[in-house]
Amino acid sequence: MAKKRLVSGMRTTGSLHLGHLEGTLKNWVSLQDTYDCFFFAAVWHAFTDRLKIDNLPAIIDEMVIDWLSVGIDPEKSVIFRQSSMHEHAELCTILSNCTPLGWLERCPSFKDDVRDEDAKSRVSLGKLMYPVLMTSDIAAYDGEFVPVGKDQLPHLELSREIVRRFNGSYGDVLKEPDAVLSQVPLLLGIDKRKMSKSYNNGIELRETPDGLKAKVQQMITDPQRVRRNDPGDPEVCCVYAYHKIYTPDRLEEIAQGCRTAGIGCRDCKLILYERLNNMLEPYRCRRAEIESRKGYVKEVLDAGEKRAHAIASEVLQRVRQVMGFSS
């Protein structure tokens, strides 16, 4: 049976960290066997909150290398850049006309951005249109599924409504995408705040063993546990939050050791370091291998964009036809 098509993108905001790995990439890797996957670098979306991105080509390459290193497989999945696909932009122009302004203004992420009047002079039209472009990214491939976390559900619901509106006028031309809900563990940064580039509190996929060790050493523990003999509370500790994900087999032992001061924070961190390092090591090897193959990333993207164009141009042809502007 033919696999159902799944589309997803990731904004090109810089090098990827464990949040991306746990929140998105591991999920993508496993979806590859079940779905016909289209994964793209959401380059245009990265510009919705900045006008200029330095070294963009390098940022895109690094992101794609990160994808490949964790197991996104160009033999299984179509990997490409949104910015190479004029079809997304064309469809976005069209779909913007069947998207009521009110829908976009009510979108939770947009509402967060324009809390005050003043914000309206800073926030771009591109930001407001974010969900329309997203809809186009998906619909350009007849995408049937989109992997989403709970927080992205309103965006997908909006996509469905935009498509429904278009279809309401023109018949069943575009596919209404469904969500593949993914359970993702929430990984905080090493300072217990949200893991974010701007806080510089993430553990990156390309971390060296020494770099990783330093990051783990900086992680915030139970602040009440000042001396080695003080008992601690694992539930308030950042290291323990990571152990929950990476050391499930020794969780009880660690919690118990912490509460009874049986284990010191230094050793506790060492256990985590080793787990993380073992996980990252095969990625490092694959990355080194990919980086040694000159021109490989370009080859992957060129091939992906060719496959993507083949589908998107058909979908757009269909759209142009029903609207009355095909030649």
Q: Where does this chain bind ligand SF4 (CB under 6 A)?
A: 221-222, 225, 232, 234, 237, 239-240, 258, 263, 265, 268-269
Query: Would you give the DSSP letter of residue 118?
Result: G
- As given in the structure block, the two tokens for residue 72 are 């996104």
What number of other Cβ atoms are within 10 A of residue 137's Cβ?
Answer: 27
In the complex, the smallest distance separating the C-beta of residue 237 from ligand SF4, rounded to whole angstroms, is 3
Q: Of 83, 6, 93, 86, which Cα lies nearest the Cα of 45? A: 83
Taking the least distance from each CB to ligand SF4, the nearer of 226 and 285 is: 226
**E runs forming strands in the chain:** 4-11, 35-42, 78-81, 145-148, 178-181
Tell me which stretch binds ligand TRP (CB under 6 A): 7-15, 51-59, 191-199, 292-300.
Answer: 7-15
- As given in the structure block, the two tokens for residue 178 are 């469904």
222 binds, among ligand SF4, ligand TRP, none (CB under 5 to 8 A by kind): ligand SF4
Residue nearest to ligand TRP (CB): 9
Taking the least distance from each CB to ligand SF4, the nearer of 157 and 253 is: 253
User: Residues 20-49: x/- map of binding to ligand TRP (CB under 6 A)?
Assistant: ----------------------x--x----
What number of other Cβ atoms are within 10 A of residue 241's Cβ?
Answer: 18
Q: Which of residues 113-152 bind ligand TRP (CB under 6 A)?
A: 134, 137-138, 146
72 binds ligand TRP (CB under 6 A): no
- Are 56 and 84 spatial neighbours (Cβ–Cβ below 8 Å)? no
Where residue 315 falls (left for φ over 0; alpha for ψ -120 to 50; beta otherwise) is alpha
Q: Of 43, 5, 4, which Cα lies nearest the Cα of 140? A: 5
6, HSE (Cβ side, Cα atoms, 13 Å): 22
10 binds ligand TRP (CB under 6 A): yes
225 binds, among ligand TRP, ligand SF4, none (CB under 5 to 8 A by kind): ligand SF4
Task: Give ∠ CA 195-200-206 in degrees, rounded to 5.
Answer: 85
280 binds, among ligand TRP, ligand SF4, none (CB under 5 to 8 A by kind): none
Tell me which stretch binds ligand TRP (CB under 6 A): 5-13, 25-33, 110-118, 228-236.
Answer: 5-13
265 binds, among ligand SF4, ligand TRP, none (CB under 5 to 8 A by kind): ligand SF4
- As given in the structure block, the two tokens for residue 157 are 């619901």
Task: Give ∠ CA 194-198-200 in degrees, rounded to 5.
Answer: 75
Taking the least distance from each CB to ligand SF4, the nearer of 44 and 240 is: 240
Taking the least distance from each CB to ligand TRP, the nearer of 8 and 99 is: 8
Q: What does the binding site for ligand TRP look like in residue numbers (CB under 6 A)?
A: 7-11, 42, 45, 134, 137-138, 146
